[in-house]
């Protein structure tokens, strides 16, 4: 029971962070929509002065429903691809936790640590390549999946 709780509780934080990101995105979208509405009001005043200009703008900036449907379907396909990638990596990490993965060490960790613009330096002899196991992938993957689901399924935006 403790193992189940220790697995579920951190995921709630990831889902909450995904929801928080969605809320921030909705806030930014609201600011953008207010600016767009202000610009549309100004444009409407300008267009009221000239009927021919109004007709031209109505044709030039018309958005059909096909493009909106296409954008929505594209976002959903990208979300499914991302979830499938993370799910596959997480499942492989569960099935083969001792599989070794060889990766490069970050460049800033190879030179050591410097303080006071290089006046004091502590040399570091880290190897260029690191070998890690795939056992950490499920731990990272479950949090990332929860963040994706929290972002994608939190209602927000203009709908």
Residue 73 is inside which H or E element, if any? helix 65-95
pLDDT at 158 over 60: no
What's the confidence (pLDDT) of residue 68? 61
Q: What separation in angstroms does the CA of 22 have from each of 11, 26, 72?
A: 17, 6, 16
The SS3 of residue 30 is helix
**Angle, nearest 10°, between helix axes 2-48 and 51-60?**
150
The DSSP bridge pattern shows strands 113-115 and 129-133 to be: unpaired
What is the Cβ-side half-sphere exposure of residue 18, based on CA atoms within 13 angstroms?
20
Distance of CA 77 to the CA centre of its chain: 15
pLDDT at 36 over 70: yes
Residue 146: closest CA among 9, 5, 14: 14
Distance CA 154, CA 147 (A): 11
pLDDT at 113 over 60: yes
Distance CA 5, CA 2 (A): 5
Distance CA 1, CA 137 (A): 22
Global pTM reads 0.45
Distance CA 89, CA 16 (A): 22
Distance CA 145, CA 17 (A): 12
Query: Which of residues 3 and 31 earns the better pLDDT score?
Result: 31
pLDDT at 66 over 80: no
């Amino acid at each position: 029971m403790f193992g189940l709780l220790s697995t579920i509780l951190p995921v709630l934080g990831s889902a909450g962070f995904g929801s928080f990101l969605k809320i921030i995105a909705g806030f930014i979208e609201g600011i953008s929509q207010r600016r767009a509405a202000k610009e549309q009001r100004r444009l409407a005043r300008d267009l009221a002065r000239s009927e021919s200009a109004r007709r031209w703008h109505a044709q030039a900036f018309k958005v059909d429903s096909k493009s909106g449907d296409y954008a929505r379907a594209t976002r959903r396909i990208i979300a499914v691809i991302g979830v499938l990638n993370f799910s596959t990596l997480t499942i492989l990490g569960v099935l083969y936790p001792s599989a070794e993965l060889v990766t490069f060490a970050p460049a800033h960790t190879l030179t050591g640590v410097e303080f006071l613009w290089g006046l004091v330096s502590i040399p570091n002899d880290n190897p260029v390549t690191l070998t890690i196991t795939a056992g950490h992938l499920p731990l990272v993957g479950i949090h990332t999946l929860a963040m994706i689901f929290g972002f994608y399924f939190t209602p927000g935006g203009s709908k």
